[in-house]
Amino acid sequence: MNDSFKKRGSSEEAKFKNDAEIRFKIDARRDKMLGLWAAEKLGLSGDDIEIFAKKVVVSDLEEAGYEDVVRMVSQSFSDGGVDIDDDVIRAEIKRLQVIAEKEVTEGYPEPLGDDHGRVGG
């Protein structure tokens, strides 16, 4: 009987770990897409686009949720003279969340730049 509880505990732990990894991948993909969207609004070009997108992804590691990302992008818009409201940023995050969830669960059908190749079917 004790062995079945151990197996069950190991199974639950593995599921939790897998779910956390998937959530991280979804959020990172969403943040990168947001970074690419914001870079376009800022008029960035060349390597600056990818650099900015990576900064957006890293900014999401500051606290739980995505308000840290909203602040970072909002400040970049303000510094760059782009008049886009925080609510528009939040709406874009929500729109991209749906896309990221679909792409991660379906195997990343499209690359997001030179540092990513096509993965999956």
- Which tens digits make up the pLDDT trace of 31-68? 999 999 999 999 999 999 999 999 999 999 888 889 99
Question: Is 115 part of a structural domain of the chain?
Answer: no
Question: Is 65 part of a structural domain of the chain?
Answer: yes
Domain that holds residue 44: 2-106
Question: Is 23 part of a structural domain of the chain?
Answer: yes
Q: Give the total number of structural domains in the chain.
A: 1
pLDDT at 76: 97
The Cβ of residue 103 has, within 10 Å, a number of other Cβ atoms equal to 21
- Give the Å distances, CA to CA, from 54 to 1, 60, 95: 49, 10, 19
Residue type, 14: A
- Angle among Cα 34, 37, 41 to the nearest 5 degrees reads 135
**CATH number of the domain bearing residue 73:** 1.10.790.20
